[in-house]
Chains A and B, each alone.
Chain A
Amino acid sequence: MYVAVKGGEKAIDNAHQWLDEKRRGDVSIKELTLEQIREQLPLAVNRVMAEGSLFDPDLAALAIKQSSGDLIEAIFLIRAYRTTLARFGMTQPIKTENMACIRRISATFKDAPGGQILGPTFDYTHRLLDFQLAADGERGNLEPADTPVAEQMPHITDYLKKEGIIQSEPVTGTQPKDLTREPLELPAARALRLQALTRGDEGFILGMAYSTQRGYGRNHPFVGELRVGQVEVEMDIPELGFAIEIGEIEVTECETVNQFTGSKTEPPQFTRGYGLTFGHNERKAISMALVDRALRWDELGEDNEGVPAQDQEFVLYHSDNIQATGFLEHIKLPHYVDFQSELELIRKLRTEALAKVDTLPEDAS
């Protein structure tokens, strides 16, 4: 009897129960706690917060645990939760010059007010497996630094701005649209593009940025400055009539200085790319800055080279990994109605084509 699609309901329940078992793994091994994930896998937590567009390390840790470490799945859980939250309003722009930096480097100046602060970084580590970690090696804590980090850390690009050799960013004074509350319509303004980039898939943004470095829309980036640390978030409270601090978040900010020899509309000056992500995520912030810069070709009067990184429709429509993964994986769903219609069509076309060719025998089927 025909049973191919029967019994789906029970199968789904069983599949989900099996998934729960797989996630737990060997029950003789202690269960992972959310605190462990939050404290010991902070970079995974950061990525989930950044691409989930929700700053909440505890929820991100829960999502990572629930998704068995599949970060795109974790991001999806966060997004689906986030979408049910009410939007209270808009905070004031964060002031990254007041950031409590744990890391701040410039690749364009050897030194600058505030200094170069290396901070916790994989840079310059030798990528050798540390077997001491496997043997449960606890380490001592670092001594505090002799000099405290400056409370105010001016932006490196401000120095170039004083000299007038880097383009200044116009203050539009308009409230940017919220990508999560309004449909994306093209062409998208820069504020909207940056929103899409910061929540875009890290791998995709990295690949796009890399393509510009390899010649598909080259824009000669220097890391003018990269900084990581805590910033205060302030919000205007209508009942109070002034802004109060509602919390602190960790962000990574990257400003690139891009070479530029002038164009039809602009005198010779450096240009900028900008990247900002939740948490400590330098790869993403730098990639974002490069792609941002590539997407600015039109407003800077550059030629469209027809490369992917310059095409905002291409970049913005394909950077969201939740959209991409959903659509990609939906081809696992049944498609037998459509396939059936294709079967009939191809059989019909073949019959007609074969009938025309006398020398070939009739299709046996």
Chain B
Amino acid sequence: MNDYNFGYLDEQTKRMIRRAILKGLAIPGYQVPFASREMPMPYGWGTGGVQVSAATLIPEDTFKVIDQGADDTTNAISIRKFFEKTSGIDVTETTSQATVIQTRHRIPETPLTEDQILVYQVPIPEPLRFLEPSEVETRKMHALEEYGLMHVKLYEDISRHGAIATSYAYPVKIEGRYIMDPSPIPKFDNPKMEMAAIQLFGAGREQRIYALPPYTQVVSLDFEDYPFEASKADHACNICGAENTYLDEVIIDDAGGRIFVCSDTDFCANNQTAGEGKPQ
């Protein structure tokens, strides 16, 4: 396909996005405004991640896309096809073979390496948004490191529910400075964010990019007496038997019978091959 530039976006636009990415990496957790473009897929469907990927990919890269941990969910397929079409790039479903991984809502179970980049799709980049609707105000709060409101919210959760009632998009503090939205990953994935790979976050509709360099300190907010807990369904995977992966609950019959399976389909497949004979 020659009608569009490599990776769809023109080089000037990529340059603008790369500058935003570099700024984001220089100030981990800070939301950098960028001139998000209209992409040929709808806002809210991964346009931020797609733009970051487009600006990051080079012809030698191998690209993987997951949505809900799986390579074969409809939107992951759509995005992977988009880049195959507009860049002719190699794609893979194997986490360890990918150099750039675009994700929605999950971090792969297989630990990432220094040679990899993880690109997150972000719907609402502002962790304070539902406490303060005004962008002018929230930017000010970040600038002044005025995060009292967030702690009050967590405290109110505990007094009302006996626990912090946030199970995904659980807020984190970066290197003791910015409070950051990890995108709607389950809080099970939060501890994985201290990783070897570069993490880039793109919010297209909201025109923000933020980033974490390798090995950045990422602390999930909590209280001493109510420590953060990365929770998951209290089961093992019914297919591969893994006991420490995030699980999807699948209803399998009219009586409401259900099984639990790894949400990371690549990990699950590998685990099945590795450990033949595990329980179904």
Interface residues of A (CB under 8 A from B): 2, 4-9, 11-12, 76, 79-80, 82-84, 86, 180-187, 313, 317, 322-323, 325-330, 333-338, 340-345, 348-349, 352-353
Contacts of A328 in B (CB 8 A): 44
- Known contacts A2-B259, A340-B186; is-contact A183 B70 (Cβ 8 Å): no
Assembled-state Cα–Cα distance A185/B45 (Å): 23
* CB-CB nearest in chain A for B33: A183
One of A82, A330, A337, A344 near B106 (C-beta < 8 A): A337
- Known contacts A2-B239, A322-B38, A340-B249; is-contact A329 B72 (Cβ 8 Å): no
**Residue pair A344, B232 in contact (C-beta under 8 Å):** yes
Assembled-state Cα–Cα distance A21/B33 (Å): 41
Confirm or deny: B134 has a beta carbon within 8 angstroms of a beta carbon on chain A: yes
Interface residues of B (CB under 8 A from A): 4, 8, 10, 33-40, 42-45, 47, 67-70, 72-78, 81, 104-106, 123, 134-136, 161-163, 165, 167-169, 184-188, 205, 207, 231-233, 239, 246-250, 252, 259, 261, 263, 265
**Residue pair B231, A2 in contact (C-beta under 8 Å):** no
Nearest chain A CB to B280 CB, angstrom units: 10
Assembled-state Cα–Cα distance A329/B123 (Å): 12
**Residue pair B135, A186 in contact (C-beta under 8 Å):** yes
Assembled-state Cα–Cα distance A317/B126 (Å): 14
Assembled-state Cα–Cα distance A149/B20 (Å): 52
**Residue pair B167, A330 in contact (C-beta under 8 Å):** no
> What are 11 A-B contacts defined by CB distance under 8 Å?
A5-B70, A186-B136, A325-B43, A333-B104, A335-B68, A337-B68, A338-B167, A338-B169, A342-B168, A345-B163, A352-B162
**Residue pair A337, B73 in contact (C-beta under 8 Å):** no
**Residue pair A86, B249 in contact (C-beta under 8 Å):** no
Nearest chain A CB to B254 CB, angstrom units: 15
Assembled-state Cα–Cα distance A7/B70 (Å): 12
- Describe B's contact surface by its main secondary structure: loop
Assembled-state Cα–Cα distance A334/B73 (Å): 8
Assembled-state Cα–Cα distance A284/B102 (Å): 39
One of A4, A82, A180, A329 near B42 (C-beta < 8 A): A329
One of B38, B106, B123, B186 near A79 (C-beta < 8 A): B38
**Residue pair A323, B205 in contact (C-beta under 8 Å):** yes
One of B4, B39, B45, B78 near A330 (C-beta < 8 A): B45
Contacts of A317 in B (CB 8 A): 135
Contacts of B162 in A (CB 8 A): 349, 352-353
Most buried by B among A183, A337, A338, A342: A337
How many A-B residue pairs lie within 8 Å, measured between CB atoms? 148
One of B33, B77, B105, B259 near A338 (C-beta < 8 A): B105
* CB-CB nearest in chain B for A82: B38
**Residue pair B43, A326 in contact (C-beta under 8 Å):** yes
Assembled-state Cα–Cα distance A239/B184 (Å): 52
**Residue pair B231, A344 in contact (C-beta under 8 Å):** yes
Nearest chain B CB to A344 CB, angstrom units: 6
Contacts of B249 in A (CB 8 A): 340, 343
Assembled-state Cα–Cα distance A13/B165 (Å): 40
Nearest chain A CB to B44 CB, angstrom units: 3
One of B47, B135, B186, B265 near A326 (C-beta < 8 A): B47
Contacts of A313 in B (CB 8 A): 134-136
Assembled-state Cα–Cα distance A326/B123 (Å): 11
* CB-CB nearest in chain A for B256: A365
**Residue pair B72, A5 in contact (C-beta under 8 Å):** yes
- Known contacts A323-B205, A337-B186, A353-B162; is-contact A329 B44 (Cβ 8 Å): yes
Assembled-state Cα–Cα distance A329/B41 (Å): 12
- Known contacts A313-B134, A338-B168; is-contact A327 B43 (Cβ 8 Å): yes
**Residue pair B10, A84 in contact (C-beta under 8 Å):** yes
* CB-CB nearest in chain B for A187: B136
Assembled-state Cα–Cα distance A323/B136 (Å): 19
Assembled-state Cα–Cα distance A174/B39 (Å): 30
**Residue pair B37, A83 in contact (C-beta under 8 Å):** yes
**Residue pair B39, A327 in contact (C-beta under 8 Å):** no
**Residue pair A12, B135 in contact (C-beta under 8 Å):** no
**Residue pair A344, B167 in contact (C-beta under 8 Å):** yes
Contacts of A333 in B (CB 8 A): 45, 67, 74-75, 104
Nearest chain A CB to B233 CB, angstrom units: 6
Nearest chain B CB to A199 CB, angstrom units: 11
**Residue pair B68, A341 in contact (C-beta under 8 Å):** no
Contacts of B263 in A (CB 8 A): 336-337, 340
One of B77, B186, B231 near A9 (C-beta < 8 A): B77
Nearest chain A CB to B157 CB, angstrom units: 10
- Known contacts A327-B44, A340-B233, A343-B249; is-contact A335 B105 (Cβ 8 Å): yes
Nearest chain B CB to A355 CB, angstrom units: 10
Contacts of B168 in A (CB 8 A): 337-338, 341-342
Nearest chain B CB to A34 CB, angstrom units: 20
Assembled-state Cα–Cα distance A83/B17 (Å): 14
Assembled-state Cα–Cα distance A83/B47 (Å): 13
* CB-CB nearest in chain B for A84: B4
**Residue pair B35, A338 in contact (C-beta under 8 Å):** no
Nearest chain A CB to B23 CB, angstrom units: 13
Most buried by B among A7, A341, A349: A341
Nearest chain A CB to B223 CB, angstrom units: 17
* CB-CB nearest in chain B for A325: B42
Assembled-state Cα–Cα distance A330/B78 (Å): 14
* CB-CB nearest in chain A for B16: A181
**Residue pair A345, B77 in contact (C-beta under 8 Å):** no
A5-B72, A333-B75, A334-B75 known, 11 other contacts, Cβ within 8 Å: A80-B39, A83-B39, A84-B10, A183-B207, A328-B44, A330-B45, A333-B104, A334-B68, A338-B186, A345-B165, A349-B161
